[in-house]
Amino acid sequence: MTINRRQFLLQSSATLAALATIKQRALAKALEITSIKDLYKDDFYIGTAIGDRQMHEADPKFMNLVAKEFNAVTMENSMKWERVHPRPGKWNWELADKFMDFADKHKMFKVGHVLVWHSQVPSWVFQDEAGKPLDRDALLARMRGHIGKIAGRYAGRMNSWDVVNEAIDEDKGWRKSPWFNIIGPDFMDYAFNFARETDSSAQLVYNDYNMHNPGKRAFLVDYIRKAKKRGVPIQGVGLQGHVGLDFPDILEFEASLKAYAAEGMRLHITELDLDVLPVAWEFSGAEISASFEYSDKINPYPNGLPAKVEQQLTDRYVEFFKLFLKYRDHIDRVTFWGVSDKNSWKNDFPVKGRTNYPLLFDRNFERKPCYDAIAKLKI
């Protein structure tokens, strides 16, 4: 029987549609019995951050989802100085201990966040009893005591510490934080050395945002080279993945992966989320003190994400995960900064009251198309 062109095209379309359906069913079946962490188990850890409220409430639905889908966890806030050590001699261990016990129970890679940071630190840390600024030696002693207490409590259990967070300014060298202003540029050397003397096994990481920035990249590479000659035990670089639909330039992000790996650093993608909202007044960083006035113009999707934007979100996540797979030999961990859109900090940062959609799970904890697309890369 002779098949004309029209019949051939119809049959071909039907065949392609059938194959697509089979593939979709195969994906759905695979995801019934596995998870994103299992799909990427031979490449790198897939992690998430757990907030204080979520850890305190320990909702079974939420905690079971974390245990099923992720094999690395970061405590979002309860290991930061203002939460765990709010006053001299006062330590709050409840949530941090619960976090460690949960992670141990499920054999997860544990990330301590963070030992030294300019933000979320009580003002007393930098002052004496009279409220005057501490001198260099006194602040170093305070740093050493804090690191010794918290890192010492979890020594042998913690897999990785974000030792220093966001210490480099944009194209300006060192951030002029109280740590820098009082101690000097060697404060980071001391932080890493104090962490190592306290815990001999945890991986020690420097963590920062906008790590694709060429100026920041060059400054950090220079620091790493000199620090290694001084014997500073820096072992990894955490690239906060606060990205958007059109920023950063993924080639610059790759250039940073390549540059840090070339210095012998293990790579961690530490705070991955994908902002779909318009950039507020050209701000694309993650400086927590930033805040801008709300307007409807920069909150365009309060009732749901349009299909076109959902596809852009999905495509962008696939673009980044293809890059991560390219550098899988150097990447230890990819951690999402949260589990679902409902509890993402991006709903309120840097503009309070917006509705954002930056993560793999929606507000009902259901998998989004971007989840399926990332999974397809491994099926």
Instruction: Give the distance from CA 280 to its chain's centroid.
Output: 21
Contact present, 227 and 304 (Cβ < 8 Å): no
Assess whether 129 carries a catalytic annotation. Answer: no
In sign, the C-alpha dihedral spanning 91, 96, 98, 103 is: negative
Q: Given the residues 166, 282, 287, 366, select the one marked as catalytic.
A: 166
The DSSP code sequence of 26-61 is HHHHHHHH--HHHHTTTT-EEEEEE-HHHHHH--HH
Tell me the residue type at 20: A
Q: Given the residues 197, 252, 254, 271, select the one marked as catalytic.
A: 271
Assess whether 166 carries a catalytic annotation. Answer: yes
In sign, the C-alpha dihedral spanning 187, 125, 150, 170 is: negative
Question: Which helix (H) or strand (E) segment is 321 a member of?
Answer: helix 307-326
Contact present, 367 and 317 (Cβ < 8 Å): no
Neighbours of 215 (CB within 10 A): 14
Instruction: Report, as residue numbers or ranges, the catalytic residues.
Output: 166, 271
